[in-house]
Amino acid sequence: NAGVTQTPKFQVLKTGQSMTLQCAQDMNHEYMSWYRQDPGMGLRLIHYSVGAGITDQGEVPNGYNVSRSTTEDFPLRLLSAAPSQTSVYFCASSGTGETEAFFGQGTRLTVV
Amino acid sequence: GENVEQHPSTLSVQEGDSAVIKCTYSDSASNYFPWYKQELGKGPQLIIDIRSNVGEKKDQRIAVTLNKTAKHFSLHITETQPEDSAVYFCAATFGRAGSYQLTFGKGTKLSVIP
Instruction: Using an 8 Å CB-CB cutoff, list chain A residues near B93.
Output: 97-98
Distance CA B63, CA B83 (A): 17
Instruction: Using an 8 Å CB-CB cutoff, list chain A residues near B100.
Output: 96-98
Predicted confidence band at A8 (pLDDT cuts at 50, 70, 90)?
very high
Read off the pLDDT of residues B68-84 as tens digits, 9 standing for 90 and up: 999 999 999 999 999 99
Read off the pLDDT of residues A11-65 as tens digits, 9 standing for 90 and up: 999 999 999 999 999 999 999 999 999 988 899 999 999 999 999 999 999 999 9
Distance CA B89, CA B87 (A): 7
What is the residue-averaged pLDDT of chain A? 95
The CA-based diameter of chain B, rounded to the nearest angstrom, is: 45
